[in-house]
Amino acid sequence: DRRREAPAAGSPIQAIIKDVGEIYSRLLDHRPVIQGEIRYFVKEFEEKRGLRELRVLENLKNTIFETNEHVLPKCEQTMHDNLNETFKRLQAANDMIHRLQEKECEVRKLQADKVMAREEKCIAHWEEFMKEQQNKRAEVDEEHRKAMERLKEQYAEMEKELAKYVSF
C-alpha cells in the first residue's frame, strides 16, 4: 500500500530514497559480494578438485578391477595350493605321531609285562622263602624240642645220681 502512495517519480524525496538505497546496498548489503565469492569458490573447486577426484576414483576403480581380475584369483590359487600342501604335511605329521604313540604304547605294555613278570617272580621267590623259613622254623623247633628232651633226661639222670648221694 505504501508504494501506491509513494510520491511521483519526479519528486525530490524519491531521489533521496534512491540515493539512500544505493548507499545502503554499497556499504551495508554484502550479499552480492558473498554470492560472487561463493560462485568463484565453487567454480575453482569443481574445476581443480573435481578432476583430481575423478582421477583418484578412476585409479581406485582400475585398482579394484585389477585386484578382482588378477590378484585375487592368484591369491586364491596360491592359498589353495599352500593349504593342500599344509594339509598333506599335517596328515603326515599326524600319522607319524600316531605311529609314535603306538610304539610308545607297545613299549609301555612290554615294560608293564616285565614289571608284572618281576613282581610274579618276586612273589614266587617270597613264597618259596616263606616256606623255607617255615621248614627251618619247624626244624629248629624240632631240634629245640629234642634238645629239651635230652636236657630233661640229663637233668633227670643227674637228679637220680644226686639222689644216690643225698642218702649218705
Has residue 18 been placed in a domain? no
Has residue 16 been placed in a domain? no
Instruction: Compute and round to an integer the Cα radius of gyration of the chain.
Output: 64
Checking if the pLDDT of 60 tops 50, the result is: yes
Q: What is the rounded distance in angstroms from the CA atom of residue 156 to the CA atom of residue 165?
A: 14
Q: What is the pLDDT of residue 25?
A: 74
Q: How confident is the model at residue 2 (pLDDT cuts 50, 70, 90)?
A: very low
Has residue 2 been placed in a domain? no
Has residue 62 been placed in a domain? yes
Rank 15-19, 22-26, 95-99 by mean pLDDT and report only the highest: 95-99
Has residue 12 been placed in a domain? no
**Measured in Å, how far apart are the chain's first and last C-alpha atoms?**
189
Mean pLDDT throughout 125-149? 95
Residue-range definition of the domain harbouring residue 86: 54-167
Has residue 124 been placed in a domain? yes
Q: How confident is the model at residue 4 (pLDDT cuts 50, 70, 90)?
A: very low
Checking if the pLDDT of 97 tops 80, the result is: yes
Output 38 or 7, whichever has higher pLDDT: 38
Q: What is the pLDDT of residue 99?
A: 96
Output 161 or 29, whichever has higher pLDDT: 161
Q: How many domains does the chain have?
A: 1
Q: What is the pLDDT of residue 3?
A: 46
Q: How confident is the model at residue 146 (pLDDT cuts 50, 70, 90)?
A: very high
What are the pLDDT digits (tens) for 42-58? Answer: 787 777 766 777 788 88
Rank 24-28, 50-54, 65-69, 114-118 by mean pLDDT and report only the highest: 114-118
Q: Which three cell numbers stand for residue 105?
A: 604304547
Has residue 28 been placed in a domain? no
CA 107 to chain centroid:
32
Has residue 107 been placed in a domain? yes
Mean pLDDT throughout 10-32? 78
Q: What is the pLDDT of residue 168?
A: 54
